[in-house]
Amino acid sequence: MVRCRVAGRGGGRVAPVKVNSSPALGRALLRLLTVQGSWNYERMQGVGFGVAEEPLLRDLPRQAYPGAVARSAHFFNAHPYLCGLAVGAAARAEHDGTTPDQVDRLRTALCGPLGSVGDQLVWAGWLPFNSGLALVLVALGFGAWAIGGFLVLYNIGHLVLRWWALQAGWASGLQVASALRHPALLRAGALVRPAMALALGAALPLAAGYLSAPFAPWARIVVVGVAAAGLLLLRTGRVALNGLRFGLVTVAVALLVAWLWR
Amino acid sequence: MSFEVAVLLLGWGTLVGLDLTSVMQSMIARPIVAGAIAGAILGDLPSGLRIGVMFELLQYDILPLGASRYPEYGPATVAATATAHLLSGALGLGLGAVVGLFTGLLGGVSMNAVRRLNTNAVHRAAPALEAGDTQALMRLHVASIGRDAVRALLVTGSGLVLATGTHALPGQTIHVRGAVLLAAAATGAVIAAGTSGTVRLIGRGSAIGWFAAGLLGGVAGAWLR
């Protein structure tokens, strides 16, 4: 059920009307899975946002539809899994007869919080937790089971979050900020960080042991030496170095030494 | 590597490349998954897992926040696994890392290029988008995903060409001890990158205690094994 204005845009009375939103929400969710498909440096996720929001705008009056579609494809950038919150809220605001300026302001206001919450919860929490767990299990010999478990567990959280976000946005409209204070979201944020730290802490020595196991003692000394030197260089930050550059320089030097050492 | 297997790897690498940002983000693009499945396709799961763990550690150096640019290790892991399978042993691991790192670099550069092409396409379609033309919106989106698919295909293909090239190296190019040195150096480098990225992610907050506890457990587990 959504609530629609019975009078014109901006000042009308809000009245509840029944709309069969489930199929439209389902289509929007499927399209949200490609929300970054047209990522670009001008509108960032804007075009994907518009594609995802479009099924939710089809019930708008004919004269309101093109304007709403145009607005939906304006600049937007947030965490992809939480984009649904903004998609649902913006669509609901359009149905509620909110002014175009307010819809634009709503989208702009959501970019930062959705990006920040999503990055903390998923990129810096749920994903490294699952990855760390998978590394631990692979190192302990669980092989393919560890990979299957990673994909299943990670994607349960991933898809639940996407679906919750879209529904919460659609239910909340302009009041969407309250959804970001949902107790389950806050509790997940509080739990996932220590879990991630624990999993990664366990994963590092186990993965290092797993990778070094086939080497002779002298080669293990090389592993430890390169790892220590690399960690020092990468953490001190005195040179513009990242993991890829350090890796490339290291293998280039090692290749040269290996070629000379025939 | 037979033609059928090469085609399967190419298809898998393309899916992996698409999953990174464009479609789903279900994390089949994570090296540990990309490597394991590539290993299974090659009938060599242990090599896939080993290369997958190596590049998963490298992945910890990356936080895909906002509009940041980063290397792409999914198709790179597929190519590295093919190299490790073709050469086997320490040489496979070492040259697999070399192939994977170059392919990862290429993947990152190509992602930036595709995003620039998308930007140009958005510029061209701006009048139609501002008119609320739904078909133009859909065309733009689908074409962008198609562009990313072609990109992922080309990156994986380049990686597999490199993998095949290393297989064609004469046997005397690198001695066994040199191969072990290369593999050990690559292993040290990924451990450094993984540890550095993890330390940055954990920061100095309350999670550091949990990290220390995990570290102790991991060291005990590695020692007991």
**Average confidence (pLDDT) over A1-25:** 51
Min Cα–Cα distance to chain A from B146, Å: 9
The reply to whether residue A39 touches residue B215, judged by beta carbons under 8 angstroms, is no
Min Cα–Cα distance to chain A from B155, Å: 17
> pLDDT tens, A15-28?
444 455 789 999 99
What values do phi and psi take at A60, rounded to 5?
-70, 155
The reply to whether residue A222 touches residue B194, judged by beta carbons under 8 angstroms, is no
What pLDDT, on a 0 to 100 scale, did the predictor assign at position B204? Answer: 84
| Residue A14 pLDDT exceeds 80 | no
The reply to whether residue B213 touches residue A198, judged by beta carbons under 8 angstroms, is yes
The contacts of residue B142 (CB under 8 Å, 6+ apart) are none
The domain tally of chain B equals 1
> pLDDT tens, B94-107?
999 999 999 999 99
| Residue A74 pLDDT exceeds 50 | yes
What pLDDT, on a 0 to 100 scale, did the predictor assign at position A19? Answer: 54
Question: So where are chain A's domains?
Answer: 2-201, 215-260
Q: Which residue has the higher pLDDT, A232 or B67?
A: A232
What pLDDT, on a 0 to 100 scale, did the predictor assign at position B66? Answer: 62
What pLDDT, on a 0 to 100 scale, did the predictor assign at position A15? Answer: 40
CB contacts < 8 A (A, B): 351
* Predicted ipTM of the assembly: 0.96
Mean pLDDT over each residue of chain B, to the nearest integer: 95
Contact A97, A12 (CB under 8 A): yes
Q: Residue B164's CB: how many other CB atoms inside 10 A?
A: 16
**Average confidence (pLDDT) over A55-78:** 96
**Average confidence (pLDDT) over A170-194:** 94
Domain range spanning residue B56?
3-224
What pLDDT, on a 0 to 100 scale, did the predictor assign at position B69? Answer: 82
Terminus-to-terminus CA distance in chain A, angstroms?
75
Chain A residue with minimum CA distance to B35: A147
Among A4-18, A151-165, B84-98, the range scoring the smallest mean pLDDT is: A4-18
User: Which of B36, B108, B210 is the closest to A201 by Cβ?
Assistant: B210
Which residues of chain A make contact with B130, given a CB cutoff of 8 A? 70
Question: How many Å is the Cα radius of gyration of chain A?
Answer: 24
User: Which of B45, B115, B210 is the closest to A143 by Cβ?
Assistant: B45
**DSSP per position, chain A:** -EEEESSSTTTPPEEEE----HHHHHHHHHHHTTTTTT-BTTTBTHHHHHHHHHHHHTTS-TTTHHHHHHHHTS-B-S-GGGHHHHHHHHHHHHHTT--HHHHHHHHHHHHHHHHHHHIIIIIIIIHHHHHHHHHHHHHTT-HHHHHHHHHHHHHHHHHHHHHHHHHHHHHHGGGGGGGGG-HHHHHHHHHHHHHHHHHHHHHHHHHHHHHHTTS-HHHHHHHHHHHHHHHHHHHH--S---HHHHHHHHHHHHHHHHHH--
- What does the alpha-carbon distance between residue A61 and residue A70 come to, in Å, rounded to a whole number? 15
What pLDDT, on a 0 to 100 scale, did the predictor assign at position B225? Answer: 81
What pLDDT, on a 0 to 100 scale, did the predictor assign at position B76? Answer: 98
Q: What is the 3-state secondary structure (H, E, C) of B120-187?
A: HHHHHHHHHHHCCCHHHHHHHHHHHHHHHHHHHHHHHHHHHHHHHHHHCCCCCCCCHHHHHHHHHHHH
pTM (predicted TM-score): 0.94
Which region, left, alpha or beta, applies to residue A45 given φ > 0 means left and ψ of -120 to 50 means alpha? alpha
The reply to whether residue B175 touches residue A261, judged by beta carbons under 8 angstroms, is yes
What pLDDT, on a 0 to 100 scale, did the predictor assign at position B96? Answer: 97
Q: Residue B11's CB: how many other CB atoms inside 10 A?
A: 13
Tokens 């002014």 map to which residue? A99
- What does the alpha-carbon distance between residue B47 and residue B40 come to, in Å, rounded to a whole number? 9
User: Which of B101, B145, B181 is the closest to A34 by Cβ?
Assistant: B145
> pLDDT tens, B136-187?
999 999 999 999 999 999 999 999 999 999 988 876 678 889 999 999 999 9
Q: Residue A168's CB: how many other CB atoms inside 10 A?
A: 20
| Residue A238 pLDDT exceeds 80 | no
Which residues of chain B make contact with A239, given a CB cutoff of 8 A? none
What pLDDT, on a 0 to 100 scale, did the predictor assign at position A20? Answer: 57
What pLDDT, on a 0 to 100 scale, did the predictor assign at position B168? Answer: 82
Among A71-80, B120-129, B149-158, B163-172, the range scoring the smallest mean pLDDT is: B163-172
What is the DSSP pairing of strand A14-17 with strand A2-5?
A: antiparallel
**Average confidence (pLDDT) over A25-40:** 97
The reply to whether residue A254 touches residue B53, judged by beta carbons under 8 angstroms, is no
- What tokens appear for B211 in the block? 């990290």
| Residue A204 pLDDT exceeds 60 | yes
The reply to whether residue B180 touches residue A210, judged by beta carbons under 8 angstroms, is no
- What tokens appear for B49 in the block? 């897992």
The reply to whether residue B206 touches residue A54, judged by beta carbons under 8 angstroms, is no
Chain A residue with minimum CA distance to B130: A70
Q: Any idea what DSSP says for residue B196?
A: H
Contact A163, A22 (CB under 8 A): no
